[in-house]
Structure 1
């Protein structure tokens, strides 16, 4: 299986894990399912972020390209707590924050899938 396909699967699992956390009621099984799925998705994406650029564009300029790709991720991580606090204040609950993160995950999955598909042709 190609790194891009593995990335598609991992990014699909991320919002699924958050939906489990938001809707499953907080029982032990749901927390364990969330932790396993979220952890697996995050861990796999750490590897995918390093392999997919080389798969699509080759090894020339790899360092600069991956650095450029890291910029939006770092900015999102910096803005995340403030955005989550805003959602929490407006919606009044953690479920809304979790669902907002799941929505971002769905958008990420769609964007990644669209970005890597032309490279496979």
Structure 2
């Protein structure tokens, strides 16, 4: 019936609208494979006067001796943390973290850790 088709079409459009914010791909990507442990190591620095917006990340480690923390420098709250005693890898598919102007990103992690971060540069 015409009513059913119109209703299904409307529901489909609503689902696409709701899903769109979660289907963002990053403009830039950072990757690193650390053989040794890192403590508050700066890994991404934005251009002067710009901000970093985190879109996604992936981390993995073979080491359960220390947690993996990703945060903006100077922030007490990480935007991503992996407790390695319970899990050795994780994907952050939808991360919405926006740093302050000129704020860098730093990592603290145990040895044998791989990190990949998708991010954008914002004004």
Greater helix share, structure number: 1
Same-fold status (TM-score > 0.5): no
Greater strand share, structure number: 2
TM-score, with length taken from structure 1: 0.24
TM-score, with length taken from structure 2: 0.24
Larger Rg: 2
